[in-house]
Amino acid sequence: MRLADLNGALRDPTIDAIWCLRGGYGLTRILDAVDFTALRNRPIPVIGCSDVTALLLGALRQADVVTFHAPMARAAMPAFARRSFERVLRDASPAGLLESSPSPADVLVPREGRVVTLRGGIAEGPLMGGNLTLLASLVGTPFLPSLEGALLVLEDIGEAVYRIDRMLSQLRLAGVLRGLAGVIVGNFTDALRQTPDGALGLDEVLGHYFEPLQIPVAHGMPVGHIDAQWTLPIGVRARFDADRGTVELLESAVTDRS
C-alpha cells in the first residue's frame, strides 16, 4: 500500500512535492520498486529525514534529482527551521539557472555555542548523506550515490556509541569515507559524548574516523532529530566552513516552475 501511494504520487502530474509525515521505517523494503523513472521524467521535491534518507539518496542516485533533508511534515517547526525550509525550497535562480553567486542570505548559521570543530578549514562539494544507519544500510546497493568529493552530512538517534562506531567502521572499510571533501556532523540524539566507564565516547569515535582524513569536520551542526534544524538540499554544491560552523549554498536547489 505504501509503495502504491508513493509511486502514485510520483506519477501524478497534479502533485508538486512529496513531504513525508514520519521517518519511514521499512522504506528500504520497497526502495527497489520505487518508480524513479517517473521522478526523473518529472522532478519534484522529495522531503524528509531519518529513514527517508534511503529515499533521498536513492532518488539522487537513480533519478539524478536534488532531494531535501528536512523536518517531517508533522514535526514542530520553529522560526529557525521554517526560515531555512522556505529559503531553500522557494529560492530559484532567474531563468531556472542553478548556478548563482553566493550572498549573505545563502549562508546558514547554527545557533551559537553548539558547534565543536574537530578539524578546521573550508571545503566545497555536493551535500550528501543524512541518517547514518540508513547510509550504512545502502552500502553495496545501487541506491547510494558516489561520495567522492562530497560534504558528508551525518546524524542519528537512539544509537549507542558502539553502534555508531561499528557503522562508521563499515563506511571506512567499504571505502566510502575515502575522497570526502568535508564532514558535517549533526546531532546524535541520546548518544553519550563521554562515558563514565572508560569506553570511547562519541567525540573520540568521531575523531578516530575523521581526523586521519585531514579534511574539515565539525560536530553539533543543526541537523538531525531536533526541532531547530536546517533544510539541506542533497546533491547541491555547498561551501562548508568548519571553523565558523557555516554552510553556504552555491547553487539554487529548485528551478522556477511558474
Annotated catalytic sites, by residue?
50, 155, 225
As a whole number of angstroms, the distance between CA 143 and CA 98 comes to 24
* φ/ψ of residue 98, rounded to 5: -80, -35
Residue at grid coordinates 531536533 = 226
Question: Shortest CA distance to 11 belongs to which of 47, 37, 49?
Answer: 37
Please report, for residues 201, 229, 238, 252, the alpha-carbon distance to residue 235 in angstroms, rounded to integers and kept in the order given.
Answer: 31, 18, 9, 11
Work out the angle at residue 51's Cα, subtended by the Cα atoms of residues 50 and 53, and round it to the nearest 5 degrees.
Answer: 80
Q: What angle do CA 234, 240, 243 make, to 5 degrees?
A: 145
Cell 581526523 belongs to which residue? 211
Q: Check if the beta carbon of residue 233 is closer than 8 Å to that of residue 68.
A: yes
DSSP letters of 168-204?
HHHHHHTT-STT-SEEEEEEEET--SS-TTS---HHH
